[in-house]
Structure 1
């Protein structure tokens, strides 16, 4: 068995802050590495969640299991970044743009409005929040996924830092950013399906030893024995973000007939006064 090595957070920093509603100060602290993550309860109202989910399942660019999704995938709308070449990624983002916008039609509360609010909050502090760009073309702002159980997990232990450093994205400005964070808006989820995070950011030698130097997916559960972890229950309407270099997973749902459907994007600091987002 490979012994996992890498960085970890202090016990004080390895925590998820919980708030009812949005707290932009805490959100920014996660981006700055003060906390491992934070969850904001009840940010999106129930009707908006249902409308966005309905738009997702009726999207003309919806991909299903027959379209090559991984074992845990039930549906996907957006532009995949894993294994992508930068030019293809940005071309797809442009082609899919109006379909991504259409996901939020009819919703009163939704991620685009959330990011508009955060943009205004940061602007008052002299900080710019914008989509990541390359030679005049911008990244997609959001993507959506619906998950199903795959063994003991919906999504097995992995980290997302490796994917964002892949060679195919060379030259993309996100690779100059620091402290990558995943952001997830939960739209539907039954009992179970919580986020599990381990206090370990694997180093490159560990990734190579496990053959995970390209995508960071598939850390053996037994290798995580003894590594401090926490589990965060997630309900529809919650929005959370966390350091995606930490190994994390999504626990299995108690009833796999109930969809776990999310809007997802990523964020990181490019400079002290510029924050990027992309999906």
Structure 2
């Protein structure tokens, strides 16, 4: 069961979710979660969906995740008006699923509701059966459990994907957290190659998302693990020791909602902030450096 300290940890802003001087923009947002998600889904255009919104193909599409305060400044600069006012796509900034998750997490924490960003895989997109994705979890005090919401999905995406469920309370199986996905693949209940992003998939990508989810739970929603495209082929081979370590990590993260207190995981998160391919790169550079 989640402790009161853990819930307080997720009810407080971190450096990425803090709206800072733009908190006033939250005042007119709807109280009901489905309506809130509808508003947030119209503040950003997801880069992968840009063409569907009529964005010209020559338009630059930056994907970098920004702190919520910077994102809100960008939203306000492109369209001067309350957040509840519908914005034309060309008057919205570009981002990815993580930006929508951070925005929802920020608005909920602003209301004192424990919320956290999760990394994992969604089952409701075209392409891979389990697509790399980020959503927001929020604490349901009356039920004593976490629920999931996807603030990215708007009317256009809902129609395009044939989604009929409530994205403000995702049904079981719609989204798998990275540790749950790791368990599923390792038990061979699902093919590891069905999990991924674009050309990248398999156990190696699952292990990337496992670490990104751990760090997100430590309020480090952006990390060096996001540079997974920089890993060379040699670095994508997982040793028996690494597989076993990931098995234990997945179990610990899942157990953190029941029997393991979150502070026990924080030192582990601190120890994995630098991915192995970056460590090897630094080691190679040090080896080439002339001796003093």
Q: Structure 2 length as normaliser, TM-score?
A: 0.28
- More RCO (CA 8 Å, sep 6+): 1
Structure with greater proportional helix content: 2
Q: Which protein shows a greater Rg?
A: 2
Q: Structure 1 length as normaliser, TM-score?
A: 0.28
